Amino acid sequence: MRGTQARIHLSNFEHNIFQIKQHTLAKLCISVKANAYGHGAVHIAQKAVACGVDCLAVASVQEGAQLRQAGITAPILLFGLTLPDEIPDIVQWNLQPFVCDMEFIELLEKALEKNSDFKKAGVKYPVHLKIDTGMGRIGCAERDVSALALYISKSPYLHLQGVCTHFAVSDSLESRDIAYTNNQIHTFTKSIDAIKKQAVEPGIRHCSASGGILMYPHAHFDMVRAGIIAYGYFPSKALKTALSEGREKLVKLKPVMELTAPVVSIKTLKAGQSVSYGRTWTAQKDTRIATLPIGYGDGLPRNAAPGLHVGIGDSSYPVVGRICMDQCMVDIGKNSDVQRWDEALIFGPGANSQTAENIAELVNTIHYEILTGISARVPRIMVP
């Protein structure tokens, strides 16, 4: 087994699910897109189902197929849009797509007409009507909601399983962002009313991701779609500060992933010797360098050094020189007790551990990108 590992602490995942459930009475959908934010889609999906979540969500048909092939039978929402030729696969894998326009709806109906399993089952196919209330990504305009909902409700093939939208700034505490989100909620509510006015049942109403779950309890409606909080992180620094720091710790999340790499070599350097490509770092005094078999090919961002530190034993040491594709080097000093085969912690759930947020800050991105960027060659080890 490779020494560089992402350990997935399933008990922390379960803890986070429990925290979410304490925040809402609505149904719970867990987003397992992008390999469950890098944590391993199949294992996380199985654990989520064991924790009693109501449904799962993916971004692509392929991600949904992977879960179905692993034997997962829970409802799976498909957040992302597809090409026409992927539509038969949506049906084959029984994914519940977001639909936003007539062209796609008609293509889906045609695919259903051709699908003999669907015809045999004799039930209508579930879809969720996605409304763009201000995200500007996918979704129908408010003015088109009524006609689309009515069409779906009359379709011999389709069932309006739900109606949904997505927030653009629900992770912000800026007053204009709060006003913007409340306006999105208002547009969503108006759209639901317009659907009901035509005697069409909107089904499951859902719009909140992690930000909405934490900050907008009046926007939970019938279901919430949790992603990042299930993996132990707040969606933004602002919410983390507001909810988990200070006197009142309202929400306690536990990071699920622990990224580690072993010390595979220790060498002594004389003052003046340089380390790595480009010779950007030179030892100022005699020291020792530990090499870790982890690099940007594993998802450790190349620009994280200089700045990045790793934990070995109880101490923290700087990564020096450029991070390579497969390796990086750590200055462990002349007299530390670091030994070959010791384990270096890149980030993890420990009380004093660095987190994916700290890595993200070093490279001016968000923790979502760090977690999803941990590449396929890093083995995911499930820790019960």
Ligand X SMILES: *Cc1c(COP(=O)(O)O)cnc(C)c1O
Q: Characterise 203 by phi-psi region: left (phi > 0), alpha (psi -120 to 50), beta (else).
A: left
Closest separation in Å from C-beta 380 to ligand X: 19
Q: Which is nearer to ligand X, 214 or 346 (CB)?
A: 214
Strands in 5-9's sheet, in edge-to-edge order, are 265-269, 287-292, 328-331, 315-320, 309-312, 343-347, 257-262, 5-9, 380-383
Is 125 in the active site? no
Please, which residue, 135 or 382, has the CB nearer to ligand X? 135
Q: Shortest distance, CB of residue 137 to ligand X, whole angstroms? A: 9
196 is catalytic: no
Catalytic residue (choose from 33, 47, 130, 240): 33
Backbone φ, ψ for residue 188 (5° rounding): -65, -45
Please identify, using beta-carbon distances, which residue of 90 and 312 lies nearer to ligand X.
90
Catalytic residue among 114, 196, 277, 285: 277
218 contact partners, CB below 8 Å, separation of at least 6: 185
Minimum CB distance to ligand X, residue 263 (Å): 34
Q: Which residues bind ligand X (CB under 6 A)?
A: 31, 33, 79, 166, 209-210, 225-228, 235
| Cβ closest to ligand X, residue 138 vs residue 264 | 138
**What are residue 125's phi and psi, to 5 degrees?**
-90, 130
> Min. distance of Cβ 108 from ligand X in angstroms?
19
Cis (ω within 30 of 0) for the bond into 306? yes
Could you tell me which of 211, 224, 232, 223 has the C-alpha nearest to residue 36? 232
**In DSSP terms, which residues pair with 25 in a beta bridge?**
none
Say whether 335 sits in a helix, a strand or coil.
coil
Q: Which two tokens stand for residue 150?
A: 């009515």
Whole-angstrom distance, CA of residue 61 vs CA of residue 238:
33
Shortest CB 23 distance to ligand X, Å? 12
d(CA 340, CA 165): 52
By beta carbon distance, the residue nearest ligand X is 227
Q: Which residues are catalytic?
A: 33, 277
